[in-house]
Structure 1
Amino acid sequence: MDAKTYTAALGELRTLRDDIKKARAALAKLEAERARRIAALTAHDKAKAERIAPAAGLSLAEVVALVPALAPEVLSATAPPTPAPAPQEQEAAPEPAPAALEMDDAPGALAPALTPARAPAAQPAAAENPSAPPAAAPAATPAPAAPGRAATLPAPARRDGTRVLPSVPEGPEGDRWFTHTPNLASTHPNFTQQARSTVFLDAASGVLVHRDRTLQLALGSGSAGEILNVVFNAVPEGVERIYITGGDPWHRDAARHPYLKDAVAAWLNAPAPGWRTDTGRGKDRLAGHFVHPRHPVGRYQRTHSDESGAGGQHVELRSVGEWFDVDGAHPATVRDAFRLLWGVLRSHWPDAVVMGSPSQTGRDLWTRTIPARGQHADGYPVLSEELRGLFHATAGQGRTELITPPRVPEQLPALVEYDRTFAYAKHTWKSAVGTPRRVTATTFATWSQKEQVKALFGCGHWHVRVTVPDTWDHVGILPAPAPGDRAWHYPSTPGTTFTTWAGGPEVYTALTNPLTPWKIEILDGILFDDGKPLDDWSKKLKDCWARLAAQAAVHGDETQATAARLASRAVRAILLYGIGAFAQRPRTVTGTTPRTLERDVPADAEIIAFDDETITWQRPTGFARDPHAHPEWAAGIWSAARSALLSQRMREDDTFVGALHVPAASVVAFRTDALYLTAAHPWPYHGQPGDYLYKGHLTGPLPAPATEDDLLALRDAGRTALTTGSQ
């Protein structure tokens, strides 16, 4: 292109620029005229957004954004319904809305008013007999809801550092998320799991238990290499798994490192003569070490072949703390616990094998309950990677919250702990199945109240705008992204508005709580069919747990009673961590590189430790093609468990329990499945999953805990006091 052509092309470009400006001005004028005419249509008393939207070439949400007065009745009604706004509250039509709205600005469909749970009666403290059933109390009338506001609320100001949760893209791009990953589904296994030869070692005392033998070993300094060589000298036939029952050798040099995880990484990656890091073999083996501050996994392989020329042996070093706290039990008792566990599992799964971790065992047992014929014989398809990522970012696990003065007294009259027994097992009776459906605000607004209630009570995950009632004076209900390093917090200040994602159980609780219904606006949602993919698995595990717990309670031999109690805890861990495994967090790979090859460290890796010879790093690898990834199941169970901490009906006793059924100032803390109060309450306990167990009681006055460590110290003292009767 010569200079003359270049100059002419620039002139044509300027002309095109001016034409675009004129076209945009004309379009803006037409859009303003369209907005004016839409507003003028409100003069007709039967004007409806549903008819105006197609005539204007807009969606229902866009019409409502232009003229809120045209909102459908379900969108503009409050709970309970309020009279039409006074004339002075009617405003002129706003400026045309931008083409793309921030989710906080987007119009939402107001969730309907629902029948509240029974309001809490004034329950007296029951320190003398906290397990006695409560006296019947009349249901109190819930306080009226705060007046509602228009559906198009302005976005609340975001505080610095607050995490903004992702949302589903608008239009066809977001609709494409609502599918399954091709050729990826959970199916019944077509193989028999192989058991691994296992030993139990107390690294502090050197006691090793292998089958029916107990040996005393000298472990030297307790390095991984020394442990492996000493164990294999004592058990020449070889083992494939070494459970460390005590001693925590990976913490031996903790004082030399700034973080416990650094000490663990250094211990795992230290030179081990005759051994190298296992690179994995077979579908059921994971490669490399797993660096965890308290329960690491070391995977090693011999560097030489045996006499037959076969490949080197593979072995795992694991903490038995993944399964349960041994409470100082002898390795032989731990072995007996695993024998009892294996035996009781075999009563339901004839091919059951106790694998290395409870999560692996739980998932393997679950796959063996997938129907071989019938509705789900083809398995359970895995969601699209986009939806799995959304669940990972927006579905938290347990509620952990410490409430401090002035919301609780500076001096507590007591600290009482209630812990929900085998809590997650209570919430596995219903889970999401089928192809997910997208429920936009527009769609939700067009449904009848019956359809809306059914959706909110079903298996769904909802993007909502929440407003705390002006009269609210209790703990928060719904999780919100927290500022700073915390993942979630629970806003409770009256009038606070925030946008979040929440599971159906929590949204339902916010609408039916016994005090005042919260204002919930549906912005978007993921809705599934109701199914029972976990019910058979959970029922079998609950039966195993109950049988082992009963055996522990009646066994005359204290050692065997301890073994049965540990085995029952292992069953609990199988279900708990099995559910966590469905969440399928993005994977992180840990690796090592010699200092002389520093340039070979992956560019996206984070250096987590180094010494004169080795660099230890980790890097995220995203979501694997895991056929058993079902974050929608884990999210639903976690949401239901958080909801039950607030309000749970005891059907057998016709009463409600939980934080919302006690005075607000008496709630001190939430900790996953536990609730800490300032007084005991006569809540019934039948030893069933989900029941509130009266677990600790420390009489005050006590200074209100200011940190988690303070709370844990008081908790431990309260458990001891209740056990010894000195509370």
Structure 2
Amino acid sequence: MDRKTYTAKVAELRPLREEIGKAEKTVAAAQAALDKLNLQRARRITELAGYEGAKADAVAKASGLSVGDVVRIAPLLDPTPAAVRAAKTDDQSAAPVEAPKAEPVAEPAVAVAPVLTRPAAVVEQSAPAAPETEAPIEVEDQAVVEQPAPAVAAVAAPVVPAASVAPVAVVDRPAVAAGPRELPTLPEGPAGARFEAVTTGLVSKRPNFVQQSRSTVFLDAATGDLAVRDRVVRLDLGARTPGEILDAVLATAPGTERVYITAGAPWHDGAERYSTLKDAVAAWLNTPSPRWTTAVGSGRDKLAGHFVHQRQPVGRYAPAAAPDAGTVEIRSIGEWFDADGADVAVCRQAFTLLWQALRRHWDDVVLMGSPSQTGRDLWTRTIPTKGKWAGGYPVLSEELRGLLHATGGQGRTELILPPRVPEQLPALVEYDRTFAYAKHLWKSPVDVPVRITARAFAAMTQAEQTKALMRCSHWNIRVTVPAGWEHVGLLPAPVTGERAWVYPSEPGTTFTTWAGGAEVHLALSNHLMPWRVEILGGLVWEDGDPLDSWGKKLKAAWGDLTNLSKIHGDERQRQAAYLASRAVRSVLLFGLGGFAQRPRLVSGTTPVGEALPAGVEILGQDESVVTWQRQAGFSRDPYAHPEWAAYVWSGARAALLDTKYRQGKEVVGYAGALHAKPGSVVYFGTDGIALTERQPWPYRGEPGDYLLKGHLTGPVEHPVSQEQYLQLRGLGRAELAAEQAPGGEQR
């Protein structure tokens, strides 16, 4: 080809480019039209599901879909056997319980928030959910999952007198050793100014270095199988003490720096000899070894000593002959995902797929020891290099961080007992919000908040009040449950004891609390009945998007892995991709919790006979060392942003009650507890709900959608404890899996 021909060919590309551009626009417009038509069809199918005599096969034929596709859109159209369909929910209303009385107190000036009508044009307050683990967890620097809510008989004592309610007989249930807990408020004068300030010299900055990867292997402590690089070998682990495990691993894979235990939980060996599981774990971590000693750590980012946790401990060891030679960690794979029987090769492949999926969005990604550490590191690499926040995000004052820690709860965990629900449940149906927290990262508070007093709020116009409530905000409020309310509670009330928060629902109950704007807005605008909310004060931030880029990248990685887990031709690769997608969820979940920067729990060891550090709690002792833990308080963490975690958690709790399905700006459907019948909600579990009947909530596979996870056919005895509920939940998941398996009975 000569130059003249080359030039002519290049010129021919330009009109072709224009034609391709036109064609792409035509395809995009056609796709948009197709999506709109598909949505209209789904909406029609959902409407038809409300007719008692609707048949899935007839709807499928008319709509041009398969029966399976119709059922996925409208679960109520499942061709359930007549005997099961006849088991309808006993629509009992919760009998009112006499609200505890309190002495009148002096009330500050307040303003009653305006009742917001449901059609109001507002931006949806999205927010994420918390881990699937129901028990309280504090895994090193990861998010702290709050104590599960045990069964309660009555609401905590209100702060101001509640309306008189006639007493009724209450069924026997476990006693609750919890009373009202006084929450902090914003002080006046110079002290209050610290709540509108940042910490001097503390800014979240983009790192100028790349994390160093660590040589990692995967060990099944039950079988001795070790996955190292591209091979699996069988080890003799002896008595499965830390020293014997490390000796066996290092002999086969020299240079190993991190060992993930995928099965076998050796830290539970001999647990029956100890009063608590934590004591057993501490004793195992500190088992004497002639060749290994507890690592003392060095450098700002290297933690010293072991982390004692019932199920997911972290052991850090160094060679006894050369303690400064380096650290080897023993960790649980459960920090990342539930291996659920996967072998070590699949677990290793899951980490490979996880790294590859994240690598598409972060060139310098390194999988660190925990998902919390990984999530925070990945977020720092999304801090903008241009614009207002190019220099980083300032860290709020310690006083304000302490306020948010004390007043911003995490996920809602609540078991609802009779008489608010039937003693005999017609069924136990579990719904789980898919990748829930990822739904709520598009907007977050930034900069220093502006304090809004009760008088200042009262002086606003109604439009200004509504706008303030819909901003990134945190409100000190007095709440009254309206007369005639028959559904679940909407706002958290503080209590002491094992539970940090309860959700009052008895009409006339009044309590004082803090809540995010998403929850306050829902209480005022829900479609059932507006609640009375009095504003005592609040903090309003500038709306920003510091988590948006981080969240979008994690959602994209999750979506890639989720799709791979469905379409890959190899079953083991599908399993590995699924586990990797769960790991992405943990990165987001625990990474978000890491922003909360709650007071850290630090554990360590001291030789017997030496003085213990001040303020420690002794966890255990053997002939050589004492194992202890203590609260370390708040640190000068440049990545502490509890305002982000609190805002997301608040939005997630609101979405658990009321979630909107949107097509563009149009709301095309609703889901959540408030859209189920009163008396049908049995349990809240951070990002899931258990009910007594199935709901017509469409599932699109998108973050925030409600996925049917379990169905236990009734009648079912109502669980009286969280442990009983979790057992029933497991049975329900197994039953649903069996019916969805090939050849299984389809509902």
Smaller-chain TM-score bracket:
0.7 to 0.9
- How far, CA to CA, are the matches of 1:461 and 1:273 in structure 2? 55
Match of 1:231 in 2: 249
Listed one character per residue, the Cα deviations across residues 649-705 of structure 1 (whole Å, up to 9, x for unaligned) are 111361111111111111111011111111111111100000000111111111111
1:432 maps to which of 439, 445, 461: 445
Among 673, 679, 686, the alignment partner of 2:687 is 673
* Structure 2 CA distance for partners of 1:702 and 1:107, relative to 1, 3 Å: same
Residue 318, structure 1, aligned to residue 331, structure 2: yes
Partner Cα distance (1:462, 1:500) in 2: 8
* Alignment partners' CA distance in 2, 1:663 and 1:155: 30
Cα deviation per residue 1:521-580 (whole Å; 9 max; x = unaligned)? 111111100000000010011000001100110111101110111111111111111001
1:692 and 2:709 aligned: no
Equivalent-residue separation in structure 1 for 2:394 and 2:572 (angstroms): 45
- Contact 2:162–2:508 (Cα < 8 Å) also in 1: no
Structure 1 unaligned blocks of 5 or more: 1-100, 119-152
Quote the residue 2:421 is aligned against: 408
Residue 112 of structure 1, aligned match among 111, 114, 131: 114
User: Which of 268, 271, 275 is the matching residue for 1:254?
Assistant: 271
Query: How far apart, CA to CA, are the structure 2 residues paired with 1:590 and 1:662?
Result: 45
Work out whether 1:714 is the aligned partner of 2:728: yes
CA deviations 1:364-415 (Å, max 9, x no partner) are 0000000112111010111101111111111111101111111111111111
1:682 aligns with 2:696: yes
| Residue matched to 2:301 | 284
1:661 aligns with 2:661: no
Deviations 1:189-237 (A, max 9, x none): 000111111010111111111111211111111111111111111123x
In structure 2, the residue matched to 1:543 is 556
1:203 aligns to 2:221 (yes or no):
yes
Secondary structure of residue in 2 paired with 1:562:
helix
Q: Which amino acid aligns with 2:423?
A: E
Return the alpha-carbon distance in structure 2 between the equivalents of residues 117 and 660 of structure 1.
Answer: 16
Is residue 323–residue 358 contact of structure 1 (8 Å, CA) maintained in 2? yes
**SS in structure 2 at match of 1:412:** strand
| In 1, Cα distance between equivalents of 2:466 and 2:529 | 18
Q: CA offsets per residue over residues 266-297 of structure 1, 9 Å max, x none? A: 11122232222222233332222111111111
TM-score norm. by structure 2 comes to: 0.76
- 1:161 is matched with 179
User: Structure 1 179/187 Cα, relative in aligned 2: closer, same or farther at 3 Å?
Assistant: same
Code of the aligned partner of 2:229 = R
User: Which residue is equivalent to 1:606?
Assistant: 617
Cα drift, residue 172 of structure 1? 2.1
The percentage of aligned residue pairs carrying the same residue is 59
Q: Is the 8 A contact 1:278 1:301 kept in 2?
A: yes
Q: Give me the whole-angstrom Cα distance separating, in 2, the residues matched to 1:265 and 1:206.
A: 22
Q: Deviations over 1:583-639 (max 9, x none)?
A: 111112212223323xx1133111222234432221112111110000010011111
1:389 to 402, 405, 409: 402
CA distance in 1, matches of 2:627, 2:347: 33
Query: For the residues of structure 1 that align with 2:683 and 2:119, how far apart are their CA atoms?
Result: 22
State the secondary structure of the residue aligned to 1:336. helix
| One-letter amino acid matched to 2:498 | D
Is the alpha carbon distance of 1:175 and 1:526 closer, same or farther for their aligned partners in structure 2, counting shifts above 3 Å?
same
SS in 2 for 1:407: coil
2-side partners of 1:284 and 1:211: how far apart?
27
Q: 2:310 aligns with which of 293, 297, 304?
A: 293
Deviations, residues 161-205 of structure 1 (Å, cap 9, x unaligned)? 322111122222112221110110111100011111101011111
Write the distance in 1 (CA, Å) between the matches of 2:658 and 2:647: 16
Is the contact made by 2:600 and 2:631 (CA closer than 8 Å) also made in structure 1? Answer: yes
> Does structure 2 conserve the Cα–Cα contact (< 8 Å) formed by 1:175 and 1:438?
no
Deviation at 1:499, TM superposition (A): 0.5
Match of 1:334 in 2: 347
1:574 maps onto 2:574 in alignment: no
Provide the rounded CA distance (Å) in 2 between the counterparts of 1:452 and 1:265.
Answer: 53
The aligned counterpart of 1:41 is: none
Question: What is the CA–CA distance in structure 1 between the aligned matches of 2:696 and 2:557, rounded to whole Å?
Answer: 29
* Contact 1:418–1:695 (CA under 8 A) maintained in structure 2: yes
Determine the structure 2 residue equivalent to 1:356.
369
Cα shift at 1:482? 2.3
Quote the offset at 1:160 in angstroms: 7.1
User: In 2, are the aligned partners of 1:303 and 1:312 still within 8 Å (CA)?
Assistant: no
1:186 to 204, 208, 232: 204
Give the whole-Å Cα distance in 1 for the aligned partners of 2:178 and 2:308.
33
State the superposition RMSD in angstroms.
Answer: 2.0
Secondary structure at 2:725 match in 1: helix
Deviations 1:699-720 (A, max 9, x none): 1111111111111111111111
Q: What amino acid does structure 2 have at the position aligned with 1:610?
A: Q
Contact 1:208–1:215, Cα closer than 8 Å, also in 2: yes
Give the conservation status (yes or no) of the 8 Å contact 2:105–2:160.
no
SS of residue matched to 1:710? helix
1:117 CA drift (Å): 6.2
Letter in 1 for 2:717: P
Task: Give SS of 2:196's match.
Answer: coil
Flag the structure with more relative contact order, 1 or 2, with Cα contacts below 8 A and sequence separation at least 6.
2
3-state SS, counterpart of residue 507 of structure 2? coil
Query: Per the alignment, in what secondary structure is the counterpart of residue 513 of structure 2?
Result: strand
Residue of 191, 194, 216 corresponding to 1:173? 191
In structure 2, C-alpha distance between the alignment counterparts of 1:209 and 1:283, rounded to whole Å:
31
Tell me which structure has the larger Cα radius of gyration: 1
Q: Please, which of 647, 657, 660 is the counterpart of residue 649 of structure 1?
A: 660
**Partner amino acid for 2:467?**
K
Unaligned runs of 5+ in 2: 1-102, 121-158, 164-176, 740-744
Would you say the 8 A contact 1:413–1:700 is kept in 2?
yes
Q: Does 1:594 align with 2:607?
A: yes
Q: CA deviation at 1:155?
A: 5.9
Pair 117,618 (structure 1): closer, same or farther in 2 beyond 3 Å: farther
Q: 1:214 and 1:103, CA in 2 relative to 1: closer, same or farther beyond 3 A?
A: farther
Q: What is the distance in 1 between the residues matched to 2:736 and 2:583?
A: 25
Partner Cα separation in structure 2 for residue 410 and residue 458 of structure 1:
42
CA contact (8 A) 1:104 1:465 kept: no
Post-superposition shift, 1:107? Answer: 2.4
Number of residue pairs matched by the alignment: 586
Q: 1:103 deviation in Å?
A: 8.7
Within 2, Cα distance between the matches of 1:103 and 1:379? Answer: 44
Which residue pairs with 2:15 in the alignment? none
Question: Is 2:358 the partner of 1:345?
Answer: yes
Matched, 1:371 2:389: no
Structure-1 residue corresponding to 2:57: none
**Contact 2:194 / 2:400 at 8 angstroms: preserved in 1?**
no
How many angstroms apart in 1 are the aligned matches of 2:111 and 2:297? 51
The 1-side partners of 2:401 and 2:291 are apart by 42
User: What residue is the counterpart of 1:147 in the other structure?
Assistant: none
